[in-house]
């Protein structure tokens, strides 16, 4: 579940203010793709890629890349250079065997026209740990196109399509430009190389935000974060392949990753949450950026206990609770942020992102629980959805009340806060 800090921006402001080149065709012949023949050769190619990144050997990487397309060669060199800058404690490129039909739809037509039957898409799992951040192995997808050319298998292009697995083309090393990796003891920030000064300011801000989160959630997660804030908007847009209309409304997202690629595995286990910024948000006011960082880091902190059953109003409202925890928000700001929003029943997941003011209403619901029952109970309420799917069950188990009482307490609290 990708967690987006989106259209709440306007309401949040109200609260804070109180008011390729041409190439020749390549002929091909019949190619033996039986397991242990073609498959083994590609696995050996990926093993060489692994060693190339570990040894930071550009020539070794490029030896398995088709050199006939100058634009693709340039992209591959940039990909390698970005990978080489990442502080990997470990990394491997592992072939994931999937049915050919499942992958065929991601093969760009121009590559099929060029290589004919001797070309296909591979599903590759990049398993890695970032030093100083990850305690568990993180799996991300890569879908290169490989072709039999000049007597061997080479990487010739990249797969494309809106149904690609979550995270494909969305990693910091996928940036089309060079990146810079900035770090302190608990945070790694990946920014565009020519944006390093702003990146250092962002890293300093992020350290303060992380401290705010750790005060609320000191254990139960790694307490460390990797976030991406590159200027290449394609990295951010990748996570909105099926909802492009929402991209402009979203400031940042928290993306959970697992020990296997979720789209390719039955029951992956949670590993870590990465934060990705919308580059259009990087020019926002300092106070707004700080809020966004705290909100997203709160998602990362709760990532290990967030499930598909956890209601969005709990997930997003909790992150807002952490982000606003030390703010003194006047009644006028709350009235302005909520406007004429009717507070009746807690928003459903289907409704949540359609109404930006649900962020504010949910923040007030979480803050009410913390104030009335204690912050520990709020966290226990959040964690309860690991085992139950209904608010009624979680509320009775943790708070000792039913959902109707919870909603009445929330309505009364909001009315009081509105003044």
Give residue-wise pLDDT tens across range 373-404: 999 999 999 999 999 999 999 999 999 999 99
Can you give the pLDDT at residue 1?
55
What DSSP string runs through 238-270?
GGGTT-GGGGGG-SEEEEEEESS-GGG-SSPPE
Q: How far is CA 189 from CA 80, 140, 184, 206, 368, in A?
A: 18, 18, 9, 9, 34
Can you give the pLDDT at residue 27?
33
**pTM score of the predicted model:** 0.89
Q: At 108, is the pLDDT very low, low, confident or very high (cuts 50, 70, 90)?
A: very high
Q: pLDDT of 275-307, one tens digit each?
A: 999 999 888 899 999 999 999 999 999 999 999
What DSSP string runs through 160-198?
--TTSPTTTT-SGGG-SS-EEEEE-SSEEEEEEGGGHHH
Q: How far is CA 22 from CA 73, 110, 146, in A?
A: 13, 12, 19
Q: What is d(CA 403, CA 346) in angstroms, rounded to the nearest whole number?
A: 9
Domains and their CATH numbers in the chain: 10-19+309-419 (no CATH), 38-165 (3.10.450.50)
**248, 249, 253, 258: CA torsion to nearest 10:** -80
Q: How far is CA 130 from CA 56, 72, 90, 181, in A?
A: 16, 27, 7, 12
Cα 327 → chain centroid: 27
Best CA proximity match to 359, nearest among 289, 291, 307 = 291
Read off the pLDDT of each residue in 164-170 and give the average, rounded to a whole number.
94
For residue 213, give the H/E element and its range: helix 196-216
Q: pLDDT of 67-79, one tens digit each?
A: 999 999 999 999 9
Can you give the pLDDT at residue 26?
35
Can you give the pLDDT at residue 147?
96
Q: pLDDT of 301-360, one tens digit each?
A: 999 999 999 999 999 999 999 999 999 999 999 999 999 999 999 999 999 999 999 999
Cβ atoms of 145 and 158 within 8 Å: the answer is yes
Q: At 243, is the pLDDT very low, low, confident or very high (cuts 50, 70, 90)?
A: low
Can you give the pLDDT at residue 355?
94
């Amino acid at each position: 579940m990708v967690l987006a800090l989106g259209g709440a921006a306007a309401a949040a402001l109200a609260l804070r203010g109180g008011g390729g080149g041409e190439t020749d065709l390549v002929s091909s012949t019949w190619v033996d793709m039986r397991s242990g023949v073609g498959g083994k050769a590609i696995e050996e190619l990926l093993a060489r890629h692994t060693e190339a990144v570990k040894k930071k050997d550009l020539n070794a990487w490029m030896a398995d890349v088709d050199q006939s397309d100058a634009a693709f060669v340039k992209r591959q060199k940039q990909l390698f250079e970005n990978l080489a800058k990442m502080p990997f404690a470990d990394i491997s490129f592992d072939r994931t065997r999937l049915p050919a039909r499942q992958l065929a739809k991601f093969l760009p037509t121009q590559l099929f026209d060029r290589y004919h039957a001797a070309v296909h898409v591979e599903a590759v799992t990049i398993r890695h740990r970032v030093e100083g951040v990850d305690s568990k192995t993180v799996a991300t997808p890569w879908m290169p196109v490989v072709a039999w050319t000049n007597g061997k298998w080479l990487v010739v292009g990249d797969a494309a399509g809106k149904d690609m697995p979550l995270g494909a083309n969305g990693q910091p090393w996928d940036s089309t430009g060079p990146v810079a990796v900035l770090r302190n003891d608990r945070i790694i920030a990946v920014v565009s190389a020519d944006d390093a000064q702003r990146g250092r300011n962002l890293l300093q801000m992020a350290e303060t935000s992380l401290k705010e989160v750790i005060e609320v959630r000191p254990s139960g997660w790694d307490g460390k974060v990797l976030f991406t804030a590159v200027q290449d908007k394609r990295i951010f847009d990748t996570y909105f392949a099926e909802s492009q209309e929402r991209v402009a409304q979203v400031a940042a997202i928290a993306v959970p990753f697992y020990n296997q690629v979720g789209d390719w595995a039955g029951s992956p286990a949670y590993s870590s949450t990465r934060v990705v910024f919308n580059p259009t948000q990087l020019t926002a006011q300092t106070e707004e950026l700080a809020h966004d960082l705290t909100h997203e880091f709160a998602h990362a902190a709760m990532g290990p206990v967030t499930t598909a059953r956890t209601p969005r109003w709990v997930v997003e409202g909790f992150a807002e609770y952490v982000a606003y925890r030390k703010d003194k928000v006047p009644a006028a700001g709350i009235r302005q942020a909520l406007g004429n929003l009717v507070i009746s029943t807690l928003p459903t997941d289907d409704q949540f992102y359609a109404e930006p003011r649900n962020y504010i209403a949910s923040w007030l619901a979480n803050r009410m629980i913390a104030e009335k029952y204690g912050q520990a109970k709020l966290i226990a309420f959040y964690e309860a959805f690991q085992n139950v799917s209904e608010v009624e069950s979680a509320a009775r188990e943790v708070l000792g009340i039913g959902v109707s009482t919870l909603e009445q307490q929330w309505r009364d609290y909001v009315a009081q806060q509105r003044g």
